Amino acid sequence: MHILIASATGFEIATTVDYVEKEKLLFQNHEISFLVTGIGGVSTAYNLAKKINQKKPGIILQAGIAGCFIQKELGTVVAITDEVFGDLGVWEENQFKTIFDLNLTDKNEDPFSNEILPNPYHKLIELTQLDTARSISVNEITTDIKYEEYYEQKFSPVVESMEGGAFHFVCLKEKIPFLQIRSLSNYIRERDKTKWKMKEAVTALNDKLIMIISEICKHDETYFGV
């Protein structure tokens, strides 16, 4: 089985890369490759699609740190069930309208399902034994309470990232089993970096990622189909 592991930056998954290389005998019956997509949805979509076109993997994992909307313990790792493009639209008449509100796109146009980009690969999610969460993807990290309140009211997210929506979009379109996990490094709108738990989040992320890879390798890729 070919497992592709993607992340926006190299430092987020560096420990896992080192582990797989050091313990490659454990994974000798599987091909495990890594992709640093770059930050943001555009870079993620382009680099992920390019990689898939070169060689289609059996499963794709996306791993990274993220901001959190609720007072969940920092360093907690969650599995993402649903993704939403949080800021794709326009502020109009003192409210934000999405592309679906504007009738520019049907809310069920492939790969959307009622405006959401869901992960239908439930066996992969269950395998993680992690708490699950909804995430929104944005181009601008949330620092304004007006945006925070809008996102919470409109989407009820737990997690915010800049790449998850693009990742779900590409994987759904390509019909490749996928899983996104996020480790919570900070709370939304908290810009005091001394209150962030970046080191702890990255450590927890890699611990879980290594465990998940090991568990996936106990099955063949047909096990994880919809």
Query: What's the CA angle centered on 138, arms 134 and 140, to 5 degrees?
Result: 140
Q: For the whole model, what pTM was predicted?
A: 0.95
DSSP 16-69: HHHHHHHTGGGGTTSEEEEEE--SSHHHHHHHHHHHHHHS--SEEEEEEEEEES
Taken in order of first residue, the domains within the chain and their CATH numbers are 2-224 (3.40.50.1580)
**What CA–CA distance (Å, rounded) separates 74 from 158?**
12
Residue 144's pLDDT is: 86
Token pair recorded at residue 171: 């994987």
What pLDDT tens digit does each residue of the chain (226 aa) get? Answer: 999 999 999 999 999 999 999 998 888 889 999 999 999 999 999 999 999 999 999 999 999 999 999 999 999 999 999 999 999 999 888 888 999 999 999 999 999 999 999 999 999 999 999 999 999 999 988 888 888 999 999 999 999 999 999 999 999 999 999 999 999 999 998 888 888 899 999 999 999 999 999 999 998 888 888 7
